[in-house]
Amino acid sequence: MTAQPLLATEGLGFDVSTRTLWNGVRFEVRPGSVVAVRGVSGQGKSTLLRCLGGLQVPARGRVRVLGEDVHRVGAAERRRLRREALGFVMQDHAVVPEWTVAQNLGVLRPAGTTRAALRERIDEALGVVGLGGRHRTRAGLLSGGEQQRVAVARVLAQRPRVVLADEPTASLDEESAERVRHGLDALRRTGSAIVVATHDPMLVEWAGAELDLADFAASASTRKP
């Protein structure tokens, strides 16, 4: 039996002022699958990921995560989905510089996870991204590449059903980029569905499917106000 999609979109569209950025975006991601989102700068890759995660509201269409329409459920349910079902790896790393690495990873402790189990997850996640033994290091003392690896490790420890990664290897040296790729693949192997916006040809090749936003820009001409 084919697994049900963990994330699916229906006719998604987004407008900027009087211009349609993209329209009719439709795809789905099943457990252990990866979709690479491509597009030139300014085409709305980050915006699409924010819409998928319930952080930004599309002009048209629906986003379903675990069967729930993330933009039509109540605010409390949307927060629950973001906390329990969705994991984010953003371009700005989103680490708290004053906290230790372990504190940054433990902030999203899944419901029902004991402290001991969380410590095991943190140990494993840091090992995967090559930061084993850095638990007590303050995140602000790490390089940009290391902070991005912390962001990936945080999602590994969280073990969400759906991962949204926005240019996770951009501006990283090759060692850090490879560690990030390795971490994302570890997430895929746990059964997470992954959507990654990227210009990285190695990530595009790794993904099982591609979504080129240029294919949905045919109606991106100026709209009537």
Model confidence over 156-204: pLDDT tens digits? Answer: 999 999 999 999 999 889 999 999 999 999 999 999 999 999 999 999 9
The pLDDT of residue 79 is 87
For residue 90, give the nearest of 196, 201, 185 by alpha carbon.
196
Half-sphere exposure for 43 (CA within 13 Å, toward CB): 20
What's residue 18's pLDDT? Answer: 81
17's CB contacts (< 8 A; 6+ apart) are: none
- Residue range 7-216, CATH number: 3.40.50.300
Tens of pLDDT, residue by residue over 78-110, are 888 888 899 999 888 789 999 999 999 998 777
The whole-angstrom separation of Cα 206 and Cα 23 is 26
Residue 219 has pLDDT above 80, yes or no: no
pLDDT attached to residue 221:
41
Starting at the edge strand that comes first in sequence, how are the strands of the sheet with 193-197 ordered? 86-89, 162-166, 193-197, 34-38, 209-212
Contact 6/202 with Cβ under 8 angstroms?
no
Q: What pLDDT is stored for residue 218 in this prediction?
A: 52
Average pLDDT on 111-122 reads: 89
Mean predicted lDDT score pLDDT of the chain: 91
